[in-house]
Structure 1
């Protein structure tokens, strides 16, 4: 193999001249790693609350769950906010509620024997609120627990929050099953409105429409803590902070096998810590996002400075996923010391975008993660997702580092499917052992991927053997 071929890996049809290589190298030098996990963690602070407690039962909440307690719980939250902060306690018992709105300086705390169920009647999620649906802003049914422009808010305790999504309520809207309407018409209408830049105030859905809400959504909030609770069976995405700064999700169990029941989806958020959680989901365990297509570019705010550590991940489409609503970009993600173990987990690290989405994805660090079982790809970078190369918005994927990975099972060890006009750059793997995959590598349009002490199916991967690497 020639020295030139040692320095650069390209697939058939990719042409990069010496000038092009120099430009990429210069770009890499300019784009130095300016943040580190320690620096990010120093910026993330948990909210603090006054030593004041308000019990929702004292406001008339029904601890037997026969009557809706929405007004009682919301009144306690409103009073705590009016008093400049405090803890709203949901004691032992079974409670039923509609939409709740957290407000500044309020901690909603669930006793370990508190079980909160949410109404299955869409009317209990009115009035409409500003929210996002699949990365696009609109006015829609409220998320089950919502906050807007709030600071210092928390959901804590060892109790359970049950969204009661099932095959008869919420989930059928995905496909129009069990005699329920389908979301398809409304979803397409919303996407068309966003592409035409119709003002958000005119994107009014809710009653008569069938777009599912997220479970917990802090929207444009600061200093958010979600800790200890079990969150299950959301209508759609389960924990979905949007345009928020300083978010901690810690020690939470997130369970749900309905359509699109992702675990934690930070979207256009900054300074996020997700640690010591348990995921068992019908979609991605964690999916980092930043808005879809024209709406994501209009808002133009990336997700950045995100730490994901010591989590246990079972079923899901991806353990740590970036995309596909990614038009605002993502940078500086640190995923460390996570354990993934399920034959129903599709991928460990997945990056998905295309030239309709666009966006820049960079500085992704996947370190010391263990994958005990898996279905498809261990590491996957996919620019062919959904629409493929059908748009004018060139995606950029660069500075992806995988270190200390131990994995067993799956179809592909590493699969990269990029474009000739936008190859993946600065992809590195170091000290990794991947066993029992059907295909060790499939790399299309990656510039000089680096493998140092990487063993796949017992074979050391130190250099690339051909222009089109697939074996």
Structure 2
């Protein structure tokens, strides 16, 4: 064979080796997911506080009496409607206790509670008309929320006063059916099953009539299909059910609100099907999740199909609750772009700091959850909990595989971490992807982590119980 042929063969083999090497599968370690904090700044810059006319309407001028006994429902109604009809402004509630039925807000109205003003809401179901609302992620016609805005824009509740739902074991709470909340055998109990069946069978919302005889508790403050909403500085106590519930709403600010309410399902703030929501400078001491981001339940959530997205939580304090910031379990339309920063969480009754929950009946997705600068004193179960087998209300298996990816925690200090740093359980068919712990220090914890079906779990400069954590193999 000539030298020229040998050279041709060598060149050919060399080219082939390059070709096969370039096509061969690569087994490089996946890179860590990186949080995009510029997106958070864009969200904050896009949400402006609503502006109101410089006109004030005193509820006392419309017949309101601050003795804690007189029914002020009509006085509030007249003041709010007059204010809105004249182009909007401030409906002012001065010092004293005001007993009332539900308050329905109108566009361009700021309901302002002066310091020392307290709204005492009726616990008589006859005072609550049937309206289009929601219960545990399923739309229905039920008792009006205590404070309610439906398809309004530029609305607010502000001031240093107190909003008191007067819920307790003697009225709303016992309907949940638990003896710890006052329920006894033979007492009324909520008919959740009927509503869930209607949602699964796609019964039109207008035909999902509840109210008396069904014992589904009303939400406390609900903004339904609203734009440019603000709650600022108020104190909220003793809620019947979910406390602050923006649903299908856009541009929402919850600022400086102090919540103390330990009833059943007393979530602090539940943005649902909502976009561009800022929750800041608030204090949560609740009977359920402090903040729970939702997007509808099962068939009804898939019918509506509006993800909750662009949610910012800043400078908040979380005390008692099932989770500090939670996504789910009513999450069938998905959640994306959640930013949590500069928060303090601390209570022996706080189960988890960051929590994600779904199952194959809920389905949905959670993606791009970015958390930084948390100071955690004590949590009971885990710093990060992800449960995609979450079970409540009977069989929760179905054909809708939940998807979770891109969960990022940075600059977290935990004094007493409970049982696990991370407790995450995914599905083999749909693993949880991309969990990053960066600059995290956790002390007094039982186990570093317990994970099933998690891909690309990254520890970067993370220390647990004084030992730097190595990458899982």
TM-score normalised according to structure 2 size: 0.90
Q: How does 1:68-467 map to 2 (within 5 A)?
A: 68-126=71-129, 128-175=130-177, 177-178=183-184, 180-183=187-190, 186-386=191-391, 390-409=397-416, 410-465=418-473
CA–CA separation in structure 1 for the residues paired with 2:396 and 2:451: 17
CA–CA separation in structure 2 for the residues paired with 1:332 and 1:187: 31
Question: Which structure has the larger Rg?
Answer: 2
Whether the aligned pair in 2 keeps the contact of 1:322 and 1:352 (CA below 8 Å) is yes
Which residues of structure 1 form unaligned runs of 5+? 1-17, 466-471
Whether the aligned pair in 1 keeps the contact of 2:94 and 2:116 (CA below 8 Å) is yes
CA–CA separation in structure 2 for the residues paired with 1:160 and 1:428: 40
Runs of 4+ residues deviating >6 angstroms: 18-22
**What is the deviation of 1:462?**
2.5
SS at 1:297 equivalent: helix
Whether the aligned pair in 2 keeps the contact of 1:289 and 1:323 (CA below 8 Å) is yes
**What is the deviation of 1:147?**
0.3
Choose the corresponding residue for 2:53, options 36, 43, 50.
Answer: 50
Moved more, 54-63 or 456-465: 456-465
CA–CA separation in structure 2 for the residues paired with 1:54 and 1:462: 63
Whether the aligned pair in 1 keeps the contact of 2:30 and 2:456 (CA below 8 Å) is no
Deviations 1:159-199 (A, max 9, x none): 0000011011100000161463000xx21000001101111
**What is the deviation of 1:21?**
8.8
RMSD: 2.0
Deviations 1:276-320 (A, max 9, x none): 001100100000000000000000001100100100111000000
**What is the deviation of 1:374?**
1.3
Which structure exhibits the higher relative contact order, with contacts defined as CA atoms closer than 8 Å and separated by 6 or more residues?
A: 1
SS at 2:246 equivalent: coil
**What is the deviation of 1:32?**
9.7
Whether the aligned pair in 2 keeps the contact of 1:383 and 1:389 (CA below 8 Å) is no
CA–CA separation in structure 2 for the residues paired with 1:389 and 1:164: 33
Whether the aligned pair in 2 keeps the contact of 1:35 and 1:332 (CA below 8 Å) is no
Whether the aligned pair in 2 keeps the contact of 1:85 and 1:106 (CA below 8 Å) is yes
CA–CA separation in structure 1 for the residues paired with 2:445 and 2:78: 55
SS at 2:70 equivalent: strand
CA–CA separation in structure 2 for the residues paired with 1:265 and 1:314: 17
Q: How many residues align?
A: 442
**What is the deviation of 1:35?**
6.3
CA–CA separation in structure 2 for the residues paired with 1:34 and 1:320: 18
**What is the deviation of 1:34?**
9.7
Change (3 A) 1:356 1:25: farther
SS at 1:357 equivalent: coil
Deviations 1:104-161 (A, max 9, x none): 00000001010110001011111x1111100000000000000011000000000000
